[in-house]
């Protein structure tokens, strides 16, 4: 299982929609934004032939070289110079495609080297080009030499994994908005920066991009903009009345939290349904917040990777198609990343993670037809997948038999740690292993010891005695005292036998969400003789309202979709 956990790490790269500002390590620049996690071991291969899907309805064709200038540069009150739409710009139109005036390395040994590099680059410019360079805004006149201050204020990176950034005569004039209407992207093939409108922009409206690399709340944005660019933002999002802004901040914080969860590669492999549903929730929050930037195709690409890793070609194709259609709006059909997405939408098996698992196996022929939009979305996001739900009610699903030794094994039947018990684990490639089924160990607390860490002495349904030692971060103190009582039942998901240094064998408990105490005694044969009207059983019946107990009762003997967890201790 350890190999499975360590097999994938989220590698940020590939998303070329970026913020603004010099991204040099020596200047403590912020990290790069909205780059999709990658579970593949190698880069996906782009092909010359793209998936020939039509652009989304209502999106105009991208113009690599617009026949007319779509903007004018004007002085904007309290902002300085900025871009103003010269006519209505439709969603998906390319506003600008521009080569850099100078290139700047993203990382160097010292600030002095950066300054020397920049001065050489500026000195090599023509007189007109130098004039354009020095006409750009410098927010750091009091701290840095003139050239370095201008670059620090105006440089844009050449993609997330590039070794350089650049300063642009035109694009560096575009002002910031936290809820922007355009996306800046480095096109590696063109060797130019492109600006695309991702929503309709009316004539006379300002064209904006987002300088920040993270989708954060108001106070964090305000602090970052002051530190990095020395201005206070008064955009639509920042100018909301405090009550509305608080609601927006809560959603943005949740988007950030979900993004971090989705970025956990290990969680994606063991809990793909949880990750998939987190992605859907993130997309719903983006829609509520009117976010249409690179976070949208990134999320669909995340969903694609989860599907293709698990062998689900049907959903993978649809998620890749959505990633393609949303990304082509931001970057244009000549973008290398768009071509990669189009190729994956045409044939998702081109992705290197295809075949890693067959857990959700399907083919592109399995895409359903004739469904309503609501039912199709329910299928796409696996809403009806068999998974114990905290909202399920009694009678909806046959309950598991708590005496089933396969699902509720005795201590002797548990797998040994660091061994491959094929009755509990399986592998598709002979290298990485994951559970082939769910199991839960039930035992009754006999005595309790609290010294350096919590240790519970327990006996299982065969009367065998053993112990559970807590190696959680809080060493067992996360359990409430009311949950620790002799005679109560302890339930542990996916435990293994562990050999301790004192030569005893027990259970080493590390994940706090995999153990819970049930405020009832472990049912044995004597309970079968008791009538249901006895006081103790009436109290126990109330336990069925506990979603965690219902989850145990719904565990299936065969099949494994993802790890289950207890909702509370």
pLDDT, tens only, 71-97: 999 999 989 999 999 999 999 999 999
pLDDT digits (tens, 9 = 90+) for 273-298: 989 999 999 999 999 999 999 999 99
- Assess contact for 160 and 35: CB atoms under 8 A: yes
> In sequence order, what are the beta bridge partners of 216?
none
106 in a structural domain:
yes
- Pick from 336, 364, 380: which residue ends a domain? 380
Give counts: helices (H), strands (E), the chain: 14, 19
pTM of the model: 0.62
Are 204 and 302 contained in the same domain? no
pLDDT over 70 (residue 14): no
DSSP 112-125: HHHHHHHHHHHHTS
533 vs 211, residue with greater confidence = 211
Are 358 and 268 contained in the same domain? yes
Q: Cα separation of 52 and 87, whole Å?
A: 30
Are 58 and 197 contained in the same domain? yes
Output the average pLDDT for the chain: 81
Chain centroid to CA 202: 33
> In sequence order, what are the beta bridge partners of 100?
none
Chain centroid to CA 138: 35
The residue among 431, 316, 388 whose CA lies nearest residue 552 is 388
DSSP code at position 359: T
DSSP code at position 499: E
455 in a structural domain:
yes
CATH number for 39: 2.170.270.10
Are 224 and 263 contained in the same domain? no
Q: In this predicted structure, what is the pLDDT of residue 40?
A: 33
Q: In this predicted structure, what is the pLDDT of residue 17?
A: 52
CATH number for 447: 2.40.50.140
Q: In this predicted structure, what is the pLDDT of residue 452?
A: 87
pLDDT band at 431 (very low <50, low <70, confident <90, very high): low
- Cα distances (angstroms) measured from residue 56 to each of 53, 70, 326: 9, 22, 8
Q: Two tokens at 455?
A: 């240790």
The structural domain count of the chain equals 3
CA geometry: angle 236, 237, 240, nearest 5 deg: 85
Residue with tokens 């495609």: 97
Are 183 and 281 contained in the same domain? no
Are 119 and 38 contained in the same domain? yes
Contacts of 398 (CB under 8 A, 6+ apart): none
270 vs 369, residue with greater confidence = 369
319 in a structural domain:
yes
Mean pLDDT of 526-548: 48
Which residues constitute the domain of residue 369?
2-13+256-380
Are 444 and 540 contained in the same domain? yes
80 in a structural domain:
yes
- Assess contact for 14 and 36: CB atoms under 8 A: yes
Are 192 and 109 contained in the same domain? yes
Are 311 and 361 contained in the same domain? yes
Stretch (H or E) spanning 303: helix 295-309
- Assess contact for 215 and 255: CB atoms under 8 A: yes
246 in a structural domain:
no
240 in a structural domain:
no
pLDDT band at 255 (very low <50, low <70, confident <90, very high): very high
Are 45 and 6 contained in the same domain? no
- Pick from 211, 229, 247: which residue ends a domain? 229
Q: Is the dihedral of CA 516, 521, 524, 525 positive or negative?
A: negative
143 in a structural domain:
yes
397 vs 429, residue with greater confidence = 429
Are 426 and 371 contained in the same domain? no
pLDDT digits (tens, 9 = 90+) for 164-198: 789 999 999 999 999 999 999 999 999 999 999 99
Q: In this predicted structure, what is the pLDDT of residue 523?
A: 52
Q: Cα separation of 215 and 212, whole Å?
A: 8
567 in a structural domain:
no
Angle of helix 127-134 versus helix 146-154 axis, rounded to 10? 70
Are 364 and 417 contained in the same domain? no
């Amino acid at each position: 299982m350890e190999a499975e956990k360590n097999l994938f790490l989220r590698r940020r790269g590939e998303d070329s929609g970026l913020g603004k500002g010099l991204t040099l390590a020596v200047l403590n620049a912020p990290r790069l934004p909205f780059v999709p996690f990658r579970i593949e071991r190698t880069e996906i291969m782009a092909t010359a032939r793209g998936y020939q899907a039509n652009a989304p309805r209502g999106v105009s064709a991208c113009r690599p070289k617009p026949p007319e200038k779509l903007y004018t540069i004007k002085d904007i009150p309290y902002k300085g110079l900025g871009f103003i739409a010269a006519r209505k710009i439709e969603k998906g139109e390319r506003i600008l495609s521009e080569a850099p005036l100078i290139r700047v390395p993203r990382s160097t040994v010292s600030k002095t080297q950066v300054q020397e590099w920049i001065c050489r680059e500026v000195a090599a410019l023509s007189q007109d080009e130098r004039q354009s360079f020095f006409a750009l805004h410098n927010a750091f006149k009091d701290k840095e030499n003139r050239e370095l201050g201008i670059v620090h204020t105006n440089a844009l990176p050449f993609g997330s994994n590039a070794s350089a950034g650049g300063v642009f005569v035109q694009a560096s004039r575009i002002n910031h908005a936290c809820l922007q209407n355009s996306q800046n992207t480095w096109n590696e093939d063109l060797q130019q920066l492109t600006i695309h409108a991702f929503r309709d922009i009316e004539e006379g409206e300002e064209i904006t991009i987002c300088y920040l690399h993270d989708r954060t709340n108001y106070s964090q944005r305000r602090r970052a903009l002051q530190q990095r660019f020395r201005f206070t933002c008064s955009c639509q999002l920042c100018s909301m009345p405090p009550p509305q802004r608080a609601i927006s901040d809560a959603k943005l914080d949740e988007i950030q939290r979900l993004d971090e969860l989705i970025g956990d590669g290990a969680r994606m492999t063991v809990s793909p349904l949880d990750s998939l549903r987190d992605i859907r929730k993130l997309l719903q929050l983006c829609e509520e917040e009117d976010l249409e930037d690179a976070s949208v195709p990134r999320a669909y690409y995340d969903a694609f990777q989860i599907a293709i890793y698990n062998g689900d070609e049907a959903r993978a194709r649809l998620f890749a198609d959505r990633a393609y259609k949303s990304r082509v709006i931001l970057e244009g059909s000549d973008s290398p990343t768009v071509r990669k997405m189009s190729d994956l939408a045409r044939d998702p098996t081109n992705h290197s993670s295809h075949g890693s698992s067959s857990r959700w196996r399907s083919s592109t022929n399995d895409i359903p037809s004739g469904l309503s939009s609501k039912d199709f979305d329910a299928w796409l996001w696996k809403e009806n997948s068999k998974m114990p739900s905290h909202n399920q009610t009694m009678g909806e699903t046959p309950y598991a038999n708590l005496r089933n030794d396969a699902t509720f094994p005795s201590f002797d039947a548990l797998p040994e740690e660091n061994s491959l018990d094929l009755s509990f684990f399986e592998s598709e490639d002979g290298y990485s292993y994951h559970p082939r089924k769910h199991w839960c160990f039930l035992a009754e607390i006999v005595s309790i010891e609290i010294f350096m860490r919590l240790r519970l002495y327990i006996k299982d349904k065969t009367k065998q005695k053993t112990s559970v030692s807590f190696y959680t971060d809080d060493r067992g103190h996360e359990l409430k005292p009311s949950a620790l009582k002799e005679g109560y039942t302890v339930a542990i998901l996916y435990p293994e036998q562990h050999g301790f240094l004192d030569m005893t064998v027990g259970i080493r408990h590390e994940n706090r969400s995999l153990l819970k105490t049930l405020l009832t005694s472990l049912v044995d044969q004597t309970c079968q003789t008791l009538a249901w009207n006895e006081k103790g059983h009436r109290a126990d019946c109330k336990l069925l309202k506990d979603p965690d107990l219902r989850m145990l009762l719904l565990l299936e003997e065969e099949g494994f979709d993802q790890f289950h967890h207890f909702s509370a201790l």
